Amino acid sequence: METIRMFTIPLPDQRLLAVEVSGPSTGVPLVYHHGSSTSGTQFRFLQRAAHDRGLRLVSFSRPGVGASTRLPGRSVADTANDVAAVLDHLGASNSLQFGWSGGGPHALAVAARLPERVAGTVVMCSVAPYEELGSDFFAGMAQSNVDEFKRALMGENLLRPSLEDDAQKMRSASAEDVRQILMNLLSPADRVLATKEVAADIGASWAESLRHGVDGWVDETLSYVKPWGFSVQEIAVPTAVWHGAEDLAAPFAHGTWLAQHIPGATAHLLEGHGHMSIFLASVDQALAELASTL
pLDDT digits (tens, 9 = 90+) for 30-53: 999 999 999 999 999 999 999 999
Q: What is the pLDDT of residues 208-260, one digit of tens each?
A: 999 999 999 999 999 999 999 999 999 999 999 999 999 999 999 999 999 99
Q: What is the pLDDT of residues 97-152, one digit of tens each?
A: 999 999 999 999 999 999 999 999 999 999 999 999 988 999 999 999 999 999 99
What average pLDDT does the segment 58-84 reach?
A: 98
Report the chain's C-alpha Rg in angstroms: 17
What average pLDDT does the segment 8-24 reach?
A: 97
| Residue 272 pLDDT > 90 | yes
Q: Band the pLDDT of 59: cuts 50, 70, 90.
A: very high
Closest CA to 4 of 45, 52, 47: 47
Q: What is the pLDDT of residues 76-112, one digit of tens each?
A: 999 999 999 999 999 999 999 999 999 999 999 999 9
Closest CA to 227 of 126, 84, 109: 109
pLDDT at 54: 97
Angle, helices 156-170 vs 175-182, to 10°: value is 140
How far is 130 from 107, CA to CA, in rounded Å? 17
Buried b (16+ CB within 10 A) or exposed e, 131-140: ebbeeebbee
pLDDT at 193: 56
How far is 2 from 5, CA to CA, in rounded Å? 9
Closest CA to 103 of 127, 72, 71: 127
What do you get for the CA distance between the two ends of the chain, in Å?
24
Q: What is the pLDDT of residues 164-218, one digit of tens each?
A: 999 999 998 988 888 888 876 778 888 765 678 998 999 999 999 999 999 999 9
pLDDT at 89: 97
Sign of CA pseudo-dihedral 132, 271, 278, 199: positive
* Burial of 254 (C-beta count, 10 Å sphere; 0-12/13-18/19+): buried
pLDDT at 179: 82
Contact by Cβ (8 Å): 114, 83: yes
| Enclosing H/E stretch for 59 | strand 56-60
pTM: 0.97
